[in-house]
Amino acid sequence: MIMEDERRAVVDTCLLMQRQGLVVGTAGNVSIRTADLIAISPSGVPYEEMAPEDVVVVGTDGARVDGDLEPSSELPLHLSVYRATDAGAITHNHAPASTALGLVVDEIPPSHYYSVMFGGAIRVAPYAGFGTDELAANVTEALRDRTGALMKNHGAITIGPTVAKAVGMLPILEYVCEVHLRAMASGAPIALLSDAQMDDALKGLANYGKQPARGK
């Protein structure tokens, strides 16, 4: 089976998003790129019923290479992002906080230093119908120099060099959105980080968790 490992990883990632409460029903989608091939989750298949052979393989032009099912309706979005970035994987979800915050802001300012993990202030792509070329273009622009973005009236998206990196950013993005939503609900002024503070946070995170080698 073409891209067997990647197709299995797509299924595992979909199930992970479901377990973490990041998707509802069959909402959301996952893809992995290897060279000029892309493995993408199928449209409308319950995650708990999805098998690796259900994952569709397409070329970077969108032409089907393997798989009998229809690919995710967001295939144009995935193709557009891959053409514009060096991402190795894309994960898209409909989690509550990120979806809700996308209804009321056009950008998440740096209210939490985790924002540096996404490249800075997190943009919200203007609304367009799901599966459309317009949505694909809007989200691709929102992801310019970023690894995550929100989608107005829709959900969130993260990209990464691997699918593990991409999906690992989704809960962090959801946390940033939840914190900002709660701060907004308080009605009090929201403290924002300066560019210098964000730069310091970026430097700090670059070395975070690095430990010396354990002795034998």
pLDDT at 213 over 90: no
- How much is the pLDDT for 86? 96
Q: Is residue 213 part of a domain?
A: no
Report which secondary-structure segment, H or E, holds 9. helix 4-19
Cβ neighbours of residue 119 closer than 8 Å, sequence gap 6 or more: 145, 146, 147, 148
CATH number of the domain encompassing residue 172:
3.40.225.10
Other beta carbons within 10 angstroms of residue 73's beta carbon come to 14
The helix (H) or strand (E) run that includes residue 135 is helix 133-142
Give percent of the chain with pLDDT exceeding 70: 99
pLDDT digits (tens, 9 = 90+) for 121-135: 999 999 999 999 999
pLDDT-based confidence at residue 45 (cuts at 50, 70, 90): very high
* Total domains present in the chain: 1
The answer for residues whose C-beta is within 8 angstroms of residue 20's C-beta and 6 or more apart is 170, 171
Residues 32 and 6: beta-carbon distance below 8 Å: yes
214 within a domain of the structure (yes/no): no
The answer to the question of residue 65 being in a domain is yes
**In this predicted model, what pLDDT tens digit does every residue of 136-190 receive, in sequence order?**
999 999 999 999 999 999 999 999 999 999 999 999 999 999 999 999 999 999 9
Least confident piece of the model among 12-21, 24-33, 104-113, 206-215: 206-215
Using DSSP's 3-state secondary structure scheme, residue 195 falls into: helix
pLDDT of residue 209: 62
Residue 25 pLDDT level (bands cut at 50, 70, 90): confident
Q: Report yes or no on 216 lying in a domain.
A: no
Residue written as token pair 């995650």 = 47
Taking the model in full, what pTM does it have? 0.94
Q: Which residue has the tokens 């377990």?
A: 19
Confirm whether 186 is domain-assigned.
Answer: yes
> What is the crossing angle of helices 133-142 and 75-84, to 10°?
40
Query: Which run of H or E residues covers position 84?
Result: helix 75-84
The total number of residues shown for the chain amounts to: 216
Q: What is the average pLDDT value for the chain, to the nearest integer?
A: 95
215 part of a folded domain = no
The single-letter DSSP state of residue 106 is: S
The span from the CA of 2 to the CA of 151, in Å, is: 32
Q: Would you say residue 216 has pLDDT above 90? A: no
Q: How far apart are the C-alpha atoms of 167 and 27, rounded to whole Å?
A: 15
Instruction: Report yes or no: 161 and 88 within 8 Å, Cβ to Cβ.
Output: yes
Collapsing DSSP to helix, strand or coil, 160 comes out as strand
User: 191 lies in a domain?
Assistant: yes
Which is catalytic among the residues 74, 107, 134, 141? 74
Full domain range(s) for residue 13? 4-207
Distance CA 210, CA 79 (A): 35
Is residue 212 situated within a structural domain?
no
pLDDT of residue 215: 63
Residue 74 is among the residues annotated as catalytic for this protein: yes
CB 67 within 8 A of CB 42: yes
d(Cα 143, Cα 135) in Å, to the nearest integer? 12
Contact 117, 205 (CB under 8 A): yes
